[in-house]
Structure 1
């Protein structure tokens, strides 16, 4: 199971890297200062790809109640991310924080199977 999910992450990431998209939005349609900063900084863009891919996979592996909680957390996290504006250090920190949280959900899926 773990290898299948890891393979899905790699394939999902490869798709997004080959386009003009950050994982969660089209960079050609970036509107906010934060979105432009994500698109303009390769390491932040890569973090966005990984985070969005992990988020999408987890949403499909957990039941509705957990899914709703994860979606609510994502909305709050996006608000926090947007407060960084174009501060790359801040963006890096909030992406690391979100990825760590999503990795905890992924670890639970690895250990217990879908919730």
Structure 2
């Protein structure tokens, strides 16, 4: 069976062009996973799909909640987020520690959402 060399070349070219377009877990994190100066915890988040997903969920929840809060409460929310980031960074490469940090923060954000005064 003979193969058409042009078809083989075109197929290879199409595959070569399609690979960079495939989604990467790292592209979804709330920070640039391609940075050269990533901290240890950030590298682990970029390399671990479940942590990457937790990061996206946390940032999305944080941003939505910040938009619903009164201006004075947003400052406190940002202070809490900064303190949480320091705790997460202290985890280094410990996946379980990072996962627990995300679980804790998401729980805090969910509780903050539930405590908002909302009209009936």
More helix by share: 1
Aligned length: 95
SS in 1 for 2:93: coil
Question: Gaps spanning 5+ residues in structure 2: where?
Answer: 1-23
Q: CA 1:79–1:19 in structure 2 vs 1: closer, same or farther (change >3 Å)?
A: closer
Partners of 2:25 and 2:52 within 8 A in 1: no
Alignment of 1:56-67 (within 5 A): 56-67=63-74
Matched residues in 2 for 1:105 and 1:58: separation? 8
Question: Which protein has the larger Cα radius of gyration, Structure 1 or Structure 2?
Answer: 2
In the alignment, is residue 77 of structure 1 matched against residue 84 of structure 2? yes
Equivalent in 78, 82, 95 of residue 88 of structure 1:
95
User: If the length of structure 2 is used for normalisation, what is the TM-score?
Assistant: 0.73
Matched residues in 1 for 2:81 and 2:92: separation? 17
Matched residues in 2 for 1:48 and 1:18: separation? 11
Q: CA 1:42–1:57 in structure 2 vs 1: closer, same or farther (change >3 Å)?
A: same
Matched residues in 2 for 1:63 and 1:49: separation? 23
67-76 vs 25-34, greater mean Cα deviation: 25-34
Deviation, structure 1 residue 21: 3.0
Look up the match of 1:21: 28
Q: CA 1:18–1:81 in structure 2 vs 1: closer, same or farther (change >3 Å)?
A: closer
CA RMSD of aligned residues (A): 1.9
